[in-house]
Every structure is written in structure tokens, then in C-alpha cells.
Amino acid sequence: MASSLSWPDDCLDVRELPRNRGSGNVISLMLESDSVTEVFTAFGRKEASSEKVADEAIAQVRDYLKADVPVGEHLADQLLLPLTLAGRGSFHTLPLSSHALTNIDVIREFVDVPIEVSDCGSAQRVTIGEPEGVSPRDCG
């Protein structure tokens, strides 16, 4: 798996649990930078080999790195409410998940703060409120 991402073997931490703690597997991959840590996870299931589960997590990492955005899919979900309560903010992310879009719809029902989503090539910019000096349509 490390070779699929060109990561050195010392980046791996394999933990095996006793069988009585469950028969499934899970893989979590963490990318750490100065400003954010992104976590990518895939869960085993009966119809999927452990290699398939690992490939799913690796695909998530590759999509994130290819998009060259600071905020991943799941962090985007989590940033919506705090930025709305703060009254403004913006971030670039991968295309929003259906969960994030539902969160936006629910937030709009309760809070009167504009939330705009702009396409920026393979990424999206989410603008909440009116951040100073930034146009909601600005992809830069």
C-alpha cells in the first residue's frame, strides 16, 4: 500500500486487533501539513477484499492531492456551521458531497447568512457571508 502512494514504509502503522473485536478491517490515511491534517478512511465489508478497501482510501488521497485544495470533502462539511455562526468565511474544497449540500440547505433554514458555492475548475469555493476583500466568485 505504501508503494501505491510512494510513501516510505516507516509511514505505516499497522495495528491488528484480536478476532473477538471484529472481523472487518479499516484503513485510515493521514496527510499532515502546516495548516491542516486531512484524514481519509475506507471500511472493510464482506464483498470487498482488503486490497480493494486500501485502493478506495488511496483514491481519496489522490483525488484530494490532484485538486490542490486546502479543505477535503469531510472537513468541508464540518466548516459550514462554524463559519456561518461566525458570520463569514470562505474555503476551497473538492466538489461538495451530498451531505455538505444538505447541510447548506438546513443551515439556510435557520440562519440568514448567504452561502454561495462557485465552481473553480475541478474544485469549488464556498463563501459564507461576505468575507472582506474577496468576491464570492473569486477562485484565486
Q: Has 99 been annotated as catalytic?
A: yes
Question: First CA to last CA across the chain, in angstroms?
Answer: 34
Instruction: Please tell me which residue in 52, 62, 99, 137 is annotated as part of the active site.
Output: 99
Q: What's the CA gap between 116 and 137, in Å, rounded?
A: 8
Strand partners, 37: 32
Question: Could you list the active site residues?
Answer: 99
